[in-house]
Amino acid sequence: MKIALITDLHEYDPEYVLQVLAGEKPDMICAAGDILERHIRDGYEQQGEDPDEGDMSIFSRIFIRGLTRIKHAFYPDMEHPSEEFARYVNSENSYRFFREASKIAQVFYSPGNHERYYTDQDRQVIRETGTVFLDNSDAFWKGIRVGGLSSTPDLDWLREYMARPGYKLLLCHHPEFYDKYLKDTEIDLILSGHVHGGQIRILEQGIFSPGQGLFPKYSHGCHDNRLVVSAGTSNTVSLPRWGNPCEVVIIELTS
């Protein structure tokens, strides 16, 4: 079975991603979070609500708060993107991703931290494409128990999911949840993103991750032969990605 893993589109143009998917012809497409931008509530970015910040070292926390201040000093209107920006980066791009990807293969989607405030309309539009929406829930498909552990994890649901029989594939946007909740479980395959490869990669090591801080343990690739971390499909910050191309990850399961 061929699985395509897509993460962190962040409402950018999905054209290239769709071309890759059309060429690869996967059996299933797993969208593991941050496809839409719903990080803003009532017009303002919600700060200090990231569930992961509490786990970072004090040095990493100072670093990320400093970066956020610099970002807001240089881009005070970031919460209100310009009309020109909105022409290229908008929800319609993400809806189009779900519509077109669903014509290629069955899509499963679990929301990430940038989708914390997804709307009923988002849910409806996405479901109408045939995509299976997994927010702390699971579905059985072609012999696989596919689950989605969201940014606000429901550990009661996770316990129920783990008790279910069969091959378990979990979409989990946050790779830092692996050590916290998943390492000692028998989940067969865990697909995540969130880290954007650590933005800059030197000698196979990412530099920074929201949620894990500086020099993150899980920023890219395959760990323990079951946690796959995608570097994502867009660049959302003004800092260039270095040694860290955007990617669609293709995974082949063999019996």
Neighbours of 140 (CB within 10 A): 10
Q: Which stretch binds Fe ion (CB under 5 A): 57-65, 108-116, 220-228, 230-238?
A: 108-116
Position 138 contacts Fe ion (CB under 5 A): no
The answer to whether the Cα torsion of 178, 179, 182, 183 is positive or negative is positive
Q: Please, what is the minimum distance in Å from the beta carbon of residue 114 to Fe ion?
A: 5
Q: Please, what is the minimum distance in Å from the beta carbon of residue 253 to Fe ion?
A: 25
- Give the contact letters, 169-198, x = binds to Fe ion (CB under 5 A), - = no: -------------------------x----
Within 15-74, the residues that bind Fe ion by CB under 5 A are 34
For residues 26 and 210, which CB has a smaller minimum distance to Fe ion in the complex?
210
For residues 34 and 176, which CB has a smaller minimum distance to Fe ion in the complex?
34
Is residue 213 within 8 Å of residue 60, measured between CB atoms? Answer: yes
User: What is the C-alpha to C-alpha distance for residues 3 and 225, in angstroms, rounded to an integer?
Assistant: 15
Q: Please, what is the minimum distance in Å from the beta carbon of residue 151 to Fe ion?
A: 8
How many C-alpha atoms does 185 have within 13 Å on its Cβ side? Answer: 25
Q: Total binding residues for Fe ion by CB under 5 A?
A: 4
Q: Please, what is the minimum distance in Å from the beta carbon of residue 95 to Fe ion?
A: 19
Q: Please, what is the minimum distance in Å from the beta carbon of residue 252 to Fe ion?
A: 26
Give the DSSP letter string of 38-98.
--EETTEE-TT--TTGGGS-HHHHHHHHHHHHHHHHH-TTTTS--HHHHHHSSHHHHHHHH
Q: Please, what is the minimum distance in Å from the beta carbon of residue 68 to Fe ion?
A: 15
Residue with tokens 């045939």: 130
Contacting residue, 94, 106, 113, 131, with Fe ion by CB under 5 A:
113
Burial class (CB within 10 angstroms; exposed 0-12, middle 13-18, buried 19+) of 24: middle
CA 118 to chain CA mean position, Å: 14
The answer to whether the Cα torsion of 103, 196, 181, 227 is positive or negative is positive
Position 111 contacts Fe ion (CB under 5 A): no
For residues 114 and 201, which CB has a smaller minimum distance to Fe ion in the complex?
114
For residues 4 and 35, which CB has a smaller minimum distance to Fe ion in the complex?
35
User: What is the C-alpha to C-alpha distance for residues 17 and 21, in angstroms, rounded to an integer?
Assistant: 6
For residues 106 and 115, which CB has a smaller minimum distance to Fe ion in the complex?
115
For residues 34 and 144, which CB has a smaller minimum distance to Fe ion in the complex?
34
The residue type of 186 is E
Contacting residue, 112, 148, 206, 216, with Fe ion by CB under 5 A:
112
For residues 23 and 48, which CB has a smaller minimum distance to Fe ion in the complex?
48
List residues near Fe ion by CB under 5 A: 34, 112-113, 194
